[in-house]
Amino acid sequence: MYELKVISSFSAAHHLLNYEGECENQHGHNWKVEVFIKGENLDRSNILVDFKVLKRELKTVLDKLDHKDINELEEFKNTSPSSEILAKFIHDEMKKKFPQVSKVGVWENENSCSMYYENWN
């Protein structure tokens, strides 16, 4: 089994709903995003997925979030856009192009990360 990882980032504002504390107020993060791809079969060039293609698609997904108020985006209306929800959103968007996506990590800062896995296998 092979596994790839690409890392990117975006900056955006959000606030948490149904939360008591400072994070119920609008605030921002410089999120770091990790996308993991797993697979057993390599192509003719012995590549699982071209990093360039993977990074380009991740940029397309993150551009939907970058420098936005996430709470105002249609995809997050009436939900609390926590890092967990953002990890699932990015995972689901990337999965549309890359069925081999195994997990996505979203870091709010250097010490706090949420991971989304489609299943536990």
CB 88 within 8 A of CB 59: no
Note if 113 is an active site residue: no
Quick: pLDDT tens for 19-30: 988 888 899 999
Listed by start position, the domains of the chain span: 2-117
Catalytic hit among 3, 24, 27, 67: 67
Q: Please, what is the average pLDDT of the chain?
A: 95
Check residue 118 and give its pLDDT: 81
For residue 95, report the phi and psi dihedrals to the nearest 5 degrees. -65, -25
User: Which comes out higher in pLDDT, residue 82 or 119?
Assistant: 82
Average pLDDT on 92-110 reads 96
Is residue 46 predicted with pLDDT exceeding 60?
Answer: yes
Catalytic status, residue 93: no
Count CB neighbours of 58 within 10 A: 23
The C-alpha torsion from 28 through 75 and 21 to 106, rounded to 10°, is -60
**Does the domain made of 2-117 have the CATH classification 3.40.190.10?**
no
Asked if 108 is an active-site residue, the reply is yes
Angle made by CA atoms 91, 65, 79, in degrees to the nearest 5: 75
